[in-house]
């Protein structure tokens, strides 16, 4: 868990897009639980994204590209994603503007899903060649969560605001003290992405033991965020030179 060492003091009314996204994700989570306990129990699977549906041209897959990025597997998944999003979103929305921020979020989420699909194809081919595909249909595993879109915003945060210091909170359950360590945003983001790439590569090499996290979806979201961030910096520097 991380926190900014110094509060930016950006009020909620100036970051209404990010606040709206958090509220929507929480409402969708509540609807998922209501469906699970009192409904048909099919919402979690029905509106999550499955790579094979996109590859086969199923028109419903277009809808799930969007619905899946506002859904979460459980309450812990939701809290972790929304916490990171809350920490980085205010600076990014102020810098990119409300529309630019929203488009970056959606584009990162969409490309994250696409990138996850492509890497799932590679992992699926490895399983097929090993004679295991029929036992473990990796392309049919539903994926959901806002983390791909959030990684796009994290990329913008680390690149546009590299010197903001973050406090890494110690885990009280580990038996260590609660004293935080501080780290630059740029350093934190680089280390985070390297870890995601490493886990993602391991997932392709050994897909049966890769766990349930779509690591390359995070990487895909980061790529879009990085493109947006460097475009923002370039445009800002170009305007400064003209003045």
Position 135 scores a pLDDT of: 47
| Contact status, residue 8 vs residue 169, Cβ threshold 8 Å | no
Cα–Cα distances (Å) from 97 to 16, 108, 235, in that order, read: 11, 16, 14
**Token pair in block for residue 183:** 């780290």
**Token pair in block for residue 170:** 């110690």
The CATH number assigned to the domain holding 18 equals 1.20.1540.10
The domain of 66 spans 2-242
Per-residue pLDDT for the chain (243 aa), expressed as one digit of tens each?
788 888 777 877 789 999 999 999 999 999 999 998 888 888 888 899 988 888 777 888 889 999 999 999 899 999 999 999 999 999 999 999 999 999 999 999 999 999 988 887 777 665 555 555 544 566 777 889 999 999 999 999 999 999 999 988 766 555 555 556 889 999 999 999 999 999 888 877 776 666 678 888 999 999 999 999 999 999 988 877 666
Position 31 scores a pLDDT of: 95
Position 124 scores a pLDDT of: 67
Conformational region of residue 57, where left means phi above 0, alpha means psi within -120 to 50, and beta covers everything else: left
Strands 2-4 and 181-184, sheet pairing: unpaired
Position 171 scores a pLDDT of: 60
DSSP 68: G
Nearest residue to 227 via CA among 159, 163, 164: 159
Give the count of domains, the chain: 1
Position 126 scores a pLDDT of: 59
| Contact status, residue 221 vs residue 149, Cβ threshold 8 Å | yes
């Amino acid at each position: 868990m991380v926190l900014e060492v110094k509060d930016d003091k950006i009020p909620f009314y100036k970051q209404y897009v990010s606040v709206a996204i958090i509220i929507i994700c929480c409402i969708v989570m509540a609807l998922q639980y209501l469906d699970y306990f009192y409904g048909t129990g099919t919402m979690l699977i029905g509106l999550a994204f499955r790579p094979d549906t996109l590859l086969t041209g199923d028109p419903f897959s277009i809808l799930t590209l969007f619905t899946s990025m506002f859904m979460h597997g459980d309450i812990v998944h939701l809290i972790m994603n929304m916490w990171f999003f809350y920490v980085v979103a205010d600076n990014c929305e102020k810098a990119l503007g409300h529309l630019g921020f929203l488009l970056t979020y959606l584009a990162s989420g969409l490309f994250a899903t696409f990138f996850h699909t492509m890497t799932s194809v590679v992992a699926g081919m490895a399983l097929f060649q090993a004679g295991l595909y029929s036992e473990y249909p990796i392309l049919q595993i539903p994926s959901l969560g806002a983390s791909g879109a959030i990684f796009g915003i994290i990329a913008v945060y680390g690149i546009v605001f590299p010197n903001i210091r973050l406090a890494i909170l110690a885990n009280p359950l580990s038996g260590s003290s609660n004293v935080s360590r501080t780290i630059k945003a740029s350093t934190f983001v680089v280390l985070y992405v390297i870890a995601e790439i490493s886990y993602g590569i391991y997932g392709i090499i050994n897909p049966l033991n890769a766990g349930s996290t779509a690591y390359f979806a995070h990487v895909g979201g980061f790529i879009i965020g990085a493109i947006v961030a460097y475009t923002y910096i370039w445009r800002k520097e170009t305007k400064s030179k003209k003045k």
